[in-house]
Amino acid sequence: MIQHMHRQVDKVKKMILSLGSMVEERVRMSSQAIESIDAEIAEKVIRTDYEIDEMEVKIEEECLKLLALYQPVAVDLRFIIAVIKINNELERIGDYAVNIARRIKKISKQDICDFQFDYSVMAEKTQYMLNQSLNALVNLELETAFKVLSMDDEVDAIKKNAYAQIKQAMRQYPENLEYLINLFLISGNLERLADHTTNIAEEVIYLIEGEIIRHNNKQIS
């Protein structure tokens, strides 16, 4: 029975990594849409969101089956609990990629304002954080997980900078208010995307150490 459970655990691990790859691709596409204001790419992100939702449900069902059939303990139990939470975080990240795509579709139909904000650095950081959080999960790398946590403040700082600049632009270009609001909402979605990526890193730390660090003021080195 133990051997069969471990086969099922391996199956769940492959499923969560597959979902991670799907979400990474959507985040990459939404970032590309920001850079090029490409409504076609944005539409593809929106149109394929159901694939992530369906996979999230399947993974949750598999985890619940494992809990019900085998009553796992110790490391196996921690893994399943972590996967259930990471599964939800990945689905939410996919939702934020869709939100960004919707903003891009709106912006693509509006008159371009003289003011622009370069989101390339913020988008690159969030993509890197997601990639590293998944690498930490695959390789059970504690240092990599903590590195993701340390980057969250960098993304927050860019959002604050975007808010300050766009707030000033709203006074300068009141005729482009709708455009500027959509532009600002992109920063909010990228920031929330990074938050959920940080949550994944925290679950990896829980998986490795058995310690819940959420809400802790733990020193990150």
Question: What pLDDT shows up at residue 216?
Answer: 65
- The helix (run of H) or strand (run of E) holding residue 86 is helix 74-108
CA–CA distance, 12 with 69 (Å, rounded to integer):
14
> Running DSSP on this structure, what letter comes out for residue 38?
-
**Quick check: helix, strand or coil at residue 213?**
coil
CA–CA distance, 9 with 3 (Å, rounded to integer):
10
Question: What pLDDT shows up at residue 113?
Answer: 83
Question: What pLDDT shows up at residue 217?
Answer: 45
Residues of the chain with pLDDT under 70: 1, 215-221
Domains and CATH numbers, the chain: 2-209 (1.20.58.220)
What sign has the CA pseudo-torsion 205, 206, 207, 209?
positive
Say what percent of the chain tops pLDDT 70.
96
CA–CA distance, 84 with 203 (Å, rounded to integer):
10
Q: Which residues of 37-73 are buried (b: 16+ CB within 10 A; e: fewer)?
A: ebbebbbbbbeebeebeebbeebeebbeebeeebebe
For the chain, the first-to-last Cα distance in angstroms comes to 41
Among residues 12, 26, 5, which one has the least CA distance to residue 56? Answer: 12
The identity of residue 155, as a single letter, is: V
DSSP string across 106-154: HHHTSPPPS-----HHHHHHHHHHHHHHHHHHHHT-HHHHHHHHHHHHH
Among residues 96, 27, 97, 83, which one has the least CA distance to residue 55? Answer: 83
Q: What is the mean pLDDT of the chain?
A: 92
Read off the pTM. 0.92
Question: What pLDDT shows up at residue 211?
Answer: 78
